[in-house]
């Protein structure tokens, strides 16, 4: 048996196959290296960088390590199989670890997929003011895994993209200023509405933040002790607060001047409006 | 052995099989190319386009890339199998990655399936005013994956279709205007109802937004300190606000003229209604 | 070798097997065509149609396309197997896609199963007034996948059947009208109850919507500042609102006539009930 | 070759095996027919029928159809396997559809299992008044899949059994009537408690719905402006409302007669209790 | 061929194997019968029976039926395999049904496992007063699948054990009585605290339900219009209500006697405390 | 055939293999016995016992039973395989039961893993006062599966460890006492703050429970009718209640002595503070 | 047979294979030992240690034990396979246990992955003040599995990293102080605003914690009985409380000095502001 060609050919073939498997693995490693280099490693001079460069480098080298160990594992198993060693138990073990890690890491995968879609669909960009469930703020950094918001109080909110479902973007278009004015039942409603029209005209003229002059919408509620009148205005995004305070200040000043009776039912001296301090 | 036909026929057959696998793979690639081209690539002149053209092109080329890599992978595995190399470990590895990505991407698949059904069933279209859970607005764009709404305050809401379950569409049919009027226990209820009938008649005549004249529904609550009377009207979709403010203004004017006593229990001088400012 | 029958018989057998597979596949396709035609395609003159015909046709042709592509895929794999090509990788790939789509589409399957059961168990029909969680309205269309409701404000609600668990149907039987009357501690409770009995008698006689005459249930709360008395009546489904307003109007009129003291603790002149406007 | 017995024996054996498979399948079908007939088809004269007969028949014939198609499918696959056709792709396809439908139908299975346990454990029966989460009513029909309740307002609630977890059954034993009486800080508490004891004695004697005479539990809250005293009574199931209104009426009458000062802090004339209308 | 021993030995071996399989199956059936009999069937005279005997018998015979059908199925499949019939499709089908039922029944399994642990860990027993989420009551029956509670109003609550996570048991140790007393800002706080100490001493002496005499904790809130003082006492389990009403009654009596000014800010005549009715 | 060595060697080998399997199984059983004995059975004299000894013994013998039955099952299946009996159906059946039980028992596994981590990380120990979601109390027993808490009212809470995610431990470090004092707008704020500083100095000196003397944080709210001033102090863990009542009592006494006007807007005689009862 | 080389070669090969498997297993164990040593065992002198050293050592030796037992198991199975023993049942059993533990431990894996990302992305560090859902505090320890927070009341919160999704970090940048001042309708609004500007100037100058001087935002609400004016300031992180109390104290002092009428509608003597105590 030992001298037949078949006896010697088998090891030679096995040797060549092992060589082929090793070389194939190395080529595959090279290929993934190039892919990671090309798609995931930040270019030094690139300006459309969503996350800062150092963190991106850490992530891409981490990704490369994981790929390398997986390829090593596959080559090792294939070499064992060439020697006719049953690898079912190894593959089953790796499979269970793979499923466990996969289930634990599904949040991660969801983060990346959602992050990819946020960028692809341009749902929001750096500098936009967005609201996502209980958090709101200006986008400071839009990464593949997390979005960082800075809110009006200076707090930094960090949101995993996977938990971003529904988004409200306040900086695509205009914003609306809304002011509600409580009016007493003892006041002449038509006189009040005329005064409010005057407020609208003055604010609309004097403020550049107003896109479409404030208008009196009308009576929006007949309450138990007061009438509610609503005013609205289209404003430059995020400037509605400024417009609203201006309208309220003007309303207060004009009402006091016109001696509109106060609408607070428990106020002690209702006829002496705005005179007390004088 | 070397000179027998069987010895040479095997490699030749293997060669032909490899060629067949490669050609089959390329044909498959071609086929999917055509399918993606036909169903997913927007036609330049098409007018029933749900999402903007550039984004659609990005998506369809992305889809084609994914299909291409999957076909390459299958061909590579089949070639290895032709050389009798055990590919169980490779397939198992790809399977685990596939399951992990599949679980992470199931939200995506759900988005597309729901989006497809929204369009197929015509649940809403661009321009409709819809409410979905905590978000409301006019539909600006209806894509396969997300719906974009613009609400009354100018905010842009972006909703993944998969999170759209129950939808309320306000622009299919009419809308109803509802006004509740609080009435004092000291007022003559029949006189009040007569006045409200007069309000209904006047508003119904003067406003084209009203489809079916406002009617007095009757007393809907005997409260602790006031009686609530309800009025309703059928209006053109989304114009109910205008009709409601008109009704409220008319109610206030007629009540003040008829000296209906005020229904605010803590009001200081209840007999002096609407006279104070004069 | 070439001239032996076994050498030639193998290809011939293979050919016949391929033919059998193809014919079997076509017959299967035909069979499913018939099934879809019979069960899922609407008959033109049928009157128990739950969804409109055009949408049903789109759905059944869509279903047929999916079946066709699946059968083509199975035939293709079986042909490859006849040529002894290892198709594990293809089947594994299709399997992963199948599982991913299946997970994404499970909502869809749940919609159809629940829709089927709603119809089979006659939980509600077109024209019924139902409440499902936060939505209420009259059923306009009852499809296999969605139910469309029109509510009292004219809004169209679209509910996927799969999200319909618990349902409240208001149009199977009667409805109950409920009126709560607040009574002052200064009033004589027996005189009040006698008056309310009179109200019940009059309303029960005069309104055809009442199925079982209104009755005074009794004192249902001894509150901090008022006593609550409850009245109920069985009415024709959905007509309870009309009956309730009628009862409230009658209560108000009789109480004012009988000078029952008002039950509002902060009212300014408690002895002057219902006289002020006269 | 053709003339050897082995050549002919193989087809003959195959033929017999095919026949055995077919006959076995038919017998299996027969067996399931009998099982369904016995356990799931309602007997015409049976009186312990939980759902109405027509619906039960529809369900059992539907079940039989599903079983029949599954057996046909298994026989078809086994016949193919006899002809040495690789059926992996067919079984994999059927498996994926099976898993998808199984996941979609798991709610259904849960409904039936829970329904079975509700009946087995006698959690409630037709006629019982139960509360399940946000729905309450008298059980009208208790099926394997859904429970139908009729509430006090005449509304029909349909609850899938699978969504029934915790159940409160009001008709197994007694019910408790609870009345809370607010008492002013200006009243003599011992005089009040004596009066309430008198109320308890009178109500306990006169009402057959009371199982154990009402008792004064004592002061259950020292509030900011009133003292709360509680009374309870054991009553016949669901008759607690009647007992409570009787107690409240008696309390009001006795208190007015004994001139207990009112406990409403904002009442205008506190000394003139119950005299005003006289 | 027919006359060789090998030709005949094969069927004989097959026969013996079939016999062995059948006998093995029957023995297995016997074994499970014994196990079920021993562990799950209630002994007539046993006194630690958690559920009533009839229901337990139904359950154990149901369990035996399920085991029997599973063993029959396994034997049938093994017999088919002896005849070299490919049973992949049958096993796959049974597997899918098994997974579907298993998913649907996982609630059931969770019920039993949790029930087992409740008993093993003695979390509560029959007669204990427990609170589980929104339900509270005295345990009437503690089964493997459900727990039955009877609450203070006589309602029977049925809770699947699997939905019992966190449990509060009120009958293991003592209970604490808590009374909060509102005190006016116009009262002398030290005089009030001295009075409350007197209350504690008297109640602690006279009531056997008190384990550790009531103590005055001190001022627990400086409110807008009143000061809150808290008293606590350790009592025999579930008797805290009795102790609390006794403390409150004593507080009220002593305060009225000592003329502590009332703490209700809107009370009309604040100087005339507790004198009005006299 | 019968006389050849091969014919007899096979059974002999089979016999030795069966013997080896059985012995291996027994050794495995022994090994697990030792492991369970060593890690899970409580030592009689051990003092770091987290749960009581009897319950621990029950659990470890239960665990041993489960391991024993699993090893018996594996040996039985391997013996069948030695006789070339196809055991796919048995393993599939056992697999389905295993998956079902595994899914049902995953809560159990989570309980043990979390319990293990709580002990390993020393998140809390017996005697600590912790808060977990809606339950709070002192830890009485910390087992691998459940934690038992005793709250201030004497109630025993039993929490499965798996439901313990976020924990708040009150006995690691100090606790903070917080007192908010409402101040009238009519009071001199600087005089009030000076008085409060005096309160802090006195309480800080006299109470050993105070770790860092109380400090006046300042005005924390300008309310509609009162100013809120906050005081805080670092105290020994869980003694904050005692410190807070002491501070409040001191505040009340000093304010009354200094005649700070009361901050209750509806109080009848605002000038007569703290004099009324004298 | 016994004397042929093939008969003896097989055992020799088997022996060498077993040796190779054992040596390979030991090398693997060594390799993992090194990996764990390098990446997971804390270096004694390292200063970037996130968790304390003893706990880290316990964890790394635990990890090593788990790896060791898994490798032993795989070697044992491979040895059995060398002896041609069918190990399907063993692998299936281990697989089920693996899946069950994997599902139970997925929370653990999620904890570690999230913890890793928190550190990698520098979401927060030791000493930062963060808010995560219902818990807030200063980070005391940031481990791979849990984060420990100490809140302002001295309570230690322990949060598994896996439950940390959205994070708000208060110590990256500035914080904003916000003060709302209620103003009476009877006050002169312009005089009030001038006074508030003065407050802002004084506080901005005197406090180093203020990064950008307080500004008066304007009227942010026209309420029923008062006007709300808002002031904001940029402060050093976490010092906003100090700035707010300073602003409020200054507002109160200046308003009292300028005799701004009080804004509490129920205050008894409105003209006598801040004079009463003098």
Contact yes or no for B263 and A102 at CB 8 A: no
End-to-end alpha-carbon separation of chain C, Å?
123
* CB < 8 Å to G263, chain F: 224
Is a pLDDT exceeding 60 seen at residue C263?
Answer: no
Q: Is the dihedral of CA F150, F155, F158, F163 positive or negative?
A: negative
Q: Name the residue among D87, D120, D222 with its Cβ closest to that of E251.
A: D222
Looking at residue E207, what is its pLDDT? 92
C-alpha distances (whole Å) from F201 to each of D40, F209, F261 are: 82, 14, 23
Query: Is the alpha carbon torsion for F34, F35, F38, F40 positive or negative?
Result: negative
Q: Which two tokens stand for residue C141?
A: 């269309």
Closest residue on chain B to A269 (Cα): B268
Counting every residue written for chain F, the total comes to: 278
Helix, strand, or coil (residue B198): helix
Tell me: the pLDDT tens digits for G87-96? 877 887 788 7
Asked whether G113 and A108 are in contact (CB, 8 A), the reply is: yes
Q: What are phi and psi of A257, to 5 degrees?
A: -65, -40
Q: Of E112, E111, E93, E113, which is closest to residue E101 (Cα–Cα)?
A: E93
pLDDT for C49 beyond 70: no
pLDDT tops 60 at residue B277: no
Average pLDDT, chain B: 82
Q: D142-176 pLDDT, tens per residue? A: 887 889 999 988 899 999 998 888 999 999 889 99
Asked if A214 and A245 touch (Cβ cutoff 8 Å), the reply is no
- Span E236-257, average pLDDT: 92
Rounded to the nearest 5°, which phi and psi values hold at B94?
-60, -35
Biggest CA pair distance of chain B:
125
Reported as type and span, the H/E element at residue B25 is: helix B5-39
pLDDT of C50 above 70: no
Whether the pLDDT of residue F276 is over 50: the answer is no
Å between A59 CA and nearest CA of chain G: 9
Given a cut of 90, whether residue E261 has pLDDT beyond it is: no
SS3 A63: helix
Residue-wise pLDDT for F97-155, tens only, equals 777 777 777 788 888 888 888 887 888 988 899 999 889 999 988 887 889 999 988 89
pLDDT at C7: 61
Beta bridge partners of E230: E180, E218
The C-alpha angle with vertex F170 and arms to F167 and F176, in degrees rounded to 5, equals 130
pLDDT tens-digit readout, B28-60: 899 888 888 877 666 665 544 455 667 777 778
Distance CA E133, CA D166 (A): 11
Most G CBs within 10 Å: which of F219, F220, F223, as the mutation test of the G interface? F219
Q: Do F106 and G104 touch (CB under 8 A)?
A: yes
List, in sequence order, every residue forming a beta bridge with D226; answer none if it has no partner. D184
d(CA B172, CA C87): 52
Contact call for residues C269 and C236 (beta carbons, < 8 A): no
Question: Residue G52's pLDDT is what?
Answer: 64
Would you state the pLDDT for residue C277?
39
pLDDT(A263) > 60:
no
For residue E48, give the DSSP letter. Answer: -
Q: Which residues of A touch B133 (CB under 8 A)?
A: 166
| Residues of A with Cβ-Cβ distance to G123 under 8 angstroms | 146, 158
Task: Name the percent of chain A lying above pLDDT 70.
Answer: 86
Q: What is the pLDDT of residue E200?
A: 94
Mean pLDDT of D42-52: 57
Q: Say yes or no for a CB contact (<8 Å) between E274 and D185.
A: yes
pLDDT for B102: 75
- B170-180 pLDDT tens trace: 998 899 999 99
- Least confident segment among C6-10, E16-20, E22-26: C6-10
Kindly state the percentage of chain F with pLDDT values over 70: 85
Mean pLDDT, to the nearest integer, of E159-167?
90
Q: What is the pLDDT of residue D275?
A: 39
Q: Do F104 and E121 touch (CB under 8 A)?
A: no
Q: What is the pLDDT of residues E72-93, one digit of tens each?
A: 888 888 888 887 777 877 887 7
Cβ atoms F162, F114 nearer than 8 A: yes
- Which pLDDT score, from 0 to 100, does residue G168 have? 93
pLDDT of residue B45: 57
The structural domains of chain D, ordered by start, are 5-120 (1.10.287.1260), 129-169 (2.30.30.60), 175-258 (3.30.70.100)
* Tokens 């035609």 belong to residue: C37
Residue A195 has pLDDT above 50, yes or no: yes
User: Which are the contacts of A147, defined by CB distance < 8 A and separation ≥ 6?
Assistant: A115, A118, A132, A139, A141, A158, A159, A161, A164
For residue G129, list its beta bridge partners: G138
Chain E residue with Cα closest to D191: E277
Q: Per DSSP, which regions of chain F are E strands?
A: 129-132, 135-142, 146-150, 156-160, 167-169, 175-184, 210-222, 226-235
Mean pLDDT across F172-197: 90
Query: In this predicted model, what pLDDT tens digit does every residue of G151-210 receive, in sequence order?
Result: 988 899 999 998 888 999 999 889 999 999 988 887 888 999 999 999 999 999 999 999
Segment B112-137 shows an average pLDDT of 88
Contact D262 C185 (CB under 8 A): yes
What confidence score (pLDDT) does residue E231 get?
A: 95
Instruction: Note whether G106 contacts A: Cβ–Cβ < 8 A.
Output: yes
Instruction: With a cut of 50, say whether residue F273 has pLDDT above it.
Output: no
| Strands lying side by side in the sheet with C175-184 | C175-184, C226-235, C210-222
Question: How far is CA C215 from its chain centroid?
Answer: 33
Task: Let me know: does B136 contact B164? Beta carbons within 8 Å.
Answer: no
Chain E closest-CA separation from residue F38 CA (Å) = 22
Assess whether pLDDT exceeds 50 at residue E275: no
Which residues 250-269 in chain C show a CB within 8 A of chain D? 259-261, 265-267
Query: What are the chain F neighbours of E163 within 8 Å (beta carbons)?
Result: none
In 3D, which of B102, B104, B157 has the Cα closest to residue B129?
Answer: B157
F-G contacts (CB, under 8 Å): 180
Between CA A260 and CA A188 the distance in angstroms is 8
A-chain CB neighbours of B145 within 8 Å are: 117, 121
- Closest by Cα among B124, G71, F184, E233 to A94: G71
pLDDT of residue F272: 39
Q: Would you state the pLDDT for residue F38?
A: 76
State ipTM.
0.82
The share of chain E scoring above pLDDT 70, in percent, equals 85
Which residues 6+ apart lie within 8 Å of A205 measured at CB? A213
Average pLDDT over residues D10-17: 81
What are the chain C neighbours of B17 within 8 Å (beta carbons)?
83, 85
Within 8 A by CB and 6+ apart from D222, the residues are E179, E180, E181, E182, E248, E251, E252
Chain B residue with Cα closest to A4: B1
Q: How far is CA D113 from CA D59, D117, E102, in A?
A: 16, 6, 11
pLDDT number for residue A268: 45
pLDDT tens for residues A15-68?
888 888 889 889 989 988 888 887 766 666 554 445 566 777 777 888 888 888
Asked if the model's pLDDT at residue E272 lies above 70, the reply is: no
Q: Does C104 contact D at CB distance below 8 Å? A: no
> Which residue's structure tokens are 């055995």?
D20
Residues of chain B positioned with their CB less than 8 A from the CB of C179? 222
pLDDT for residue F100: 72
CA pseudo-torsion sign D247, D248, D253, D255: positive
Contact C59 B220 (CB under 8 A): no
Between chains, do G168 and A146 touch, taking CB under 8 Å as contact?
Answer: no
Average pLDDT over residues F249-275: 65
Higher pLDDT, E93 or B248: B248
Q: What confidence score (pLDDT) does residue F2 get?
A: 54
Q: CB–CB of C36/C67 below 8 Å?
A: yes
CB-CB neighbors (< 8 A) of B74 in chain C = 89-90, 93
Res. D1 pLDDT band, cuts 50 70 90: low
Mean pLDDT of F217-238: 90
* pLDDT above 90: residue G246: yes
Per-residue pLDDT at F268: 45
Q: How confident is the model at residue D274 (pLDDT cuts 50, 70, 90)?
A: very low
C210: pLDDT confidence band, cut at 50, 70 and 90?
very high
Whole-number Å distance between alpha carbons of C163 and C166: 9
End-to-end CA distance of chain B: 123
- For chains F and C, having 3+ Cβ pairs within 8 Å is answered no
Instruction: Evaluate if residue C54 carries a pLDDT over 90.
Output: no
| CA dist list (Å): G18 to A18, G14, G76, G78, G92 | 21, 6, 10, 9, 23
Mean pLDDT of E225-231: 89
pLDDT recorded at residue F134:
85
pLDDT band at A262 (very low <50, low <70, confident <90, very high): low
Chain B residue with minimal CA distance to C241? Answer: B220
Least reliable range by pLDDT among B229-238, C43-52, D80-89? C43-52
Using only the alpha carbons of chain F, give its radius of gyration: 35
pLDDT of amino acid F83: 79
Residues of A within 8 A of G38 (CB-CB) are none
Q: CB distance from C190 to chain D under 8 Å?
A: yes
B45 three-state secondary structure = coil
For residue D277, name the pLDDT band (cuts at 50, 70, 90).
very low
Interval F83-91 mean pLDDT: 79
Q: Which residue in chain D is spatially nearest to C121 when comparing CA positions?
A: D55
**In 3D, which of A176, A60, A52, A169 has the Cα closest to residue A121?**
A169
**Taking CB atoms and an 8 Å cutoff, what residues of chain D touch E103?**
102-103, 106, 109
Partner-chain contact B189 C253, CB within 8 Å: yes
Block residue for tokens 């992996």: D88
Q: Report the alpha-carbon distance of residue F225 to residue E265 in Å, rounded.
A: 14
Please state, for a pLDDT cut of 70, what percent of chain B lies above it. 86
Say which of E78, E186, E234 has its CB closest to residue F86: E78
Instruction: Give how far Cα B38 sits from Cα of B118, D108, F2, G139, Å.
Output: 21, 39, 72, 56
Q: Please state the rounded mean pLDDT for residues F41-53.
A: 58
């Amino acid at each position: 048996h030992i001298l037949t060609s078949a006896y010697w050919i088998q090891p030679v073939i096995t040797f060549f196959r092992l060589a082929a498997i090793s070389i194939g693995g190395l080529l595959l490693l090279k290929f993934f290296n190039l892919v990671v280099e090309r798609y995931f490693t930040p270019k030094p001079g690139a300006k459309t960088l969503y996350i800062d460069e150092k963190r991106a480098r850490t992530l891409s080298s981490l990704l490369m390590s994981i790929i390398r160990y997986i390829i090593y594992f596959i080559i090792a198993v294939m070499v064992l199989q060439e020697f006719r060693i049953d690898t079912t138990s190894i593959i089953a073990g790796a499979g269970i670890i793979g499923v466990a890690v996969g289930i634990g890491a599904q949040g991660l995968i969801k983060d990346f997929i959602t992050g990819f879609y946020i960028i692809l669909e341009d749902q929001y960009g750096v500098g936009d003011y967005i609201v996502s469930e209980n958090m709101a703020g200006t986008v400071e950094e839009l990464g593949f895994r997390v979005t960082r918001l800075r809110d009006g109080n200076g707090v930094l909110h960090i949101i995993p993209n996977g938990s971003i479902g529904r988004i409200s973007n306040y900086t695509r278009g205009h914003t609306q200023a809304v002011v509600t004015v409580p009016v007493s039942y003892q006041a002449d409603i038509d006189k009040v509405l005329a005064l409010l029209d005057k407020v609208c005209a003055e604010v609309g003229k004097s403020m550049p933040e107003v896109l479409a002059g404030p208008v009196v919408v009308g009576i929006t509620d007949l309450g138990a002790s007061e009438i509610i009148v609503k005013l609205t205005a289209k404003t430059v995004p995020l400037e509605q607060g400024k417009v609203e305070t201006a309208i309220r200040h003007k309303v207060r000043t004009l009402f006091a001047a016109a001696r509109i009776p106060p609408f607070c039912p428990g106020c002690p001296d209702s006829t002496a409006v705005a005179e007390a301090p004088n």
